[in-house]
Amino acid sequence: MTLSRRAFLSSSAAATLLPSVGLTSPQSLRAAPVVTQILAGEFAEYGATPTLGYNGTTPGPLIKVRQGQELAVTFENRTGAPSSVHWHGIRIANGMDGVPGLTQAHVEDGDDFDYRFVAPDAGTFWYHSHSRSWEQVARGLYGPLIVEEAMPPDVDADIVVIVDDWRLSETAEFIDDFGAMFHSAHAGRMGNYAKVIPSQPSVRLGDRVRLRLINTANARIFPIDIAGVEGKLVALDGMPLPEVQDFGTITLAPAQRADIIADVTEAISFGFWTGQDTYPLGEIRLEGANPMPRDTAIAPLPSNGLVEPSLVPDRRETLKMQGGAMGGAHPGEDIWSFNGLSDLPEAPWLKLAPGTTVQITLVNDTSFPHGIHLHGQHFHELDPDGNIGPLRDTTLINRQETRDILCVFDNPGKWLLHCHMLEHAATGMRTWIEVA
Ligand SMILES: [Cu+2]
């Protein structure tokens, strides 16, 4: 038996890499006000920002568990307002999904709630407030959640890269226009400052790295260009791609994730293509060189083994997005609706027996893009020819476009289906599905 490179690195390089399995899961997650230096570089002199965070930081602590391991965290709400935690993308037990009014009661200020669940899929996930999320997430109540494979891929560094924007005044305080009608009726509340937050500041020339990109913004779609690496796209929304793919600009809607495994050729820089020019989001600098760079091919990650959908679905349904500024008339009672209904109806939109495969045609009959998120299970995107595409938990549908998704609903419970442009969800673009 030969000594594997992984075993060598995990024993010798632990001090400079992310801590290994199981060491980074806190026993409690305390949400409370914190002051954070968000503005960097030339803007840093504007000062620090009063925000909300978990365990004293925003983003909150990196929670890392091994696939199949139970995560047990006591959420302590000290924010001054009701809150809850949603574990985004985890195929979770319904009672732990963190949706007030559907899966649990609000956790009142000063109260605690024990979240305890098994994470069945390895991949890149995140957690965030699901109470007044359009304000609490924007103020900082979110963090990365990594579920590690039993046999992680052979890399020198495993780096989480949060991508976010913030809407700040020249005194570095949040502009207090949360919930303003203008944002809700248009594309959502956009920040005026954006950056990446990598989990480590430097890499070596020649390192093989795994980059886990997470878009935590309320509403901004980030087309991201990454310079300084050569490699492959290996996962989307936490789920491995069956084959690794070349990538150019990676577009992430709010809540979407992408995993890349790549070799470092220079400092890694991240740019956001605004449509007019490239806005620099930040970089991971170079420090030294790897004396033993890898020359092996980048292989697909192991599948999470989800049940494959039947090609002939049990049911076909259509979900039409309606409303918003410059949108047509719709019968919903709020700004946005699904199939003419705003917000959560008393009865679920669909009631499904466990194991039902449903093909849903998502029709965007509005003037804005929407990132539609299903709780509790992943679904396949279908291409226009009906071919099965990647597994996702959030799918971006541009204005006046249509996308079909195919989902095996095999997780019992009451599951939210909503736009992850958080202002849109708050003003009507939400419904729910019951699997029972
Ligand atoms: Cu939307």
Segment 245-264, tens digit of pLDDT = 999 999 999 999 999 999 99
Distance CA 205, CA 287 (A): 7
Residue 387 and residue 420 in contact, taking contact as beta carbons nearer than 8 Å? no
Domain ranges of the chain: 5-289, 315-435
Q: What is the pLDDT of residue 275?
A: 85
Q: What is the pLDDT of residue 328?
A: 84
Q: What is the pLDDT of residue 191?
A: 94
Distance CA 117, CA 97 (A): 10
Distance 133 CA to ligand 1 centre (A): 14
Distance 257 CA to ligand 1 centre (A): 18
Q: What is the pLDDT of residue 17?
A: 33
Asked if the domains at 5-289 and 315-435 fall in one CATH topology, the answer is yes
Which class for 361: exposed (0-12), middle (13-18), buried (19 or more C-beta within 10 A)?
middle
Distance 187 CA to ligand 1 centre (A): 7
End-to-end CA distance of the chain: 50
Q: What is the pLDDT of residue 311?
A: 81
Distance CA 37, CA 8 (A): 37
CA 158 distance to own-chain centroid = 17
Q: What is the pLDDT of residue 6?
A: 29
Residue ranges of alpha helices (H) inside 152-221 are 181-185
Q: What is the pLDDT of residue 5?
A: 29
Distance 310 CA to ligand 1 centre (A): 29
**How do residues 383-432 score in pLDDT, each as one tens digit?**
999 999 999 999 999 999 999 999 999 999 999 999 999 999 999 999 99
Distance 188 CA to ligand 1 centre (A): 8
Distance 323 CA to ligand 1 centre (A): 10
**Arithmetic mean of pLDDT, 355-366:** 98
Distance 182 CA to ligand 1 centre (A): 14
**Arithmetic mean of pLDDT, 373-382:** 98
CATH topology of domain 5-289: Immunoglobulin-like (2.60.40)
Give the mean pLDDT of the chain: 93
Query: What does the radius of gyration of the chain's CA atoms come to, in whole angstroms?
Result: 21
Distance 243 CA to ligand 1 centre (A): 30
Q: What is the pLDDT of residue 13?
A: 30
CATH topology of domain 315-435: Immunoglobulin-like (2.60.40)
Distance 371 CA to ligand 1 centre (A): 6
Distance 419 CA to ligand 1 centre (A): 5
**How do residues 105-144 score in pLDDT, each as one tens digit?**
999 999 999 999 999 999 999 999 999 999 999 999 999 9
Cβ neighbours around 59 below 10 Å, total: 23
Q: What is the pLDDT of residue 267?
A: 98
The torsion defined by the Cα of 417, 100, 34 and 49, in degrees rounded to 10, comes to 40
DSSP state of 275: S
pLDDT of 152 above 90: yes
Task: Enter the pTM of the model.
Answer: 0.94
Distance 184 CA to ligand 1 centre (A): 9
Distance 362 CA to ligand 1 centre (A): 12
In terms of Cα–Cα distance, which of 259, 276, 164, 147 is closest to 212?
259
**How do residues 66-105 score in pLDDT, each as one tens digit?**
999 999 999 999 999 999 999 999 999 999 999 999 999 9
90 contact partners, CB below 8 Å, separation of at least 6: 117, 119, 120, 121, 125, 145, 147
Distance 369 CA to ligand 1 centre (A): 6
**How do residues 158-209 score in pLDDT, each as one tens digit?**
999 999 999 999 899 999 999 999 999 999 999 999 999 999 999 999 999 9
**Arithmetic mean of pLDDT, 372-378:** 98
Q: What is the pLDDT of residue 24?
A: 64
Distance CA 219, CA 217 (A): 6
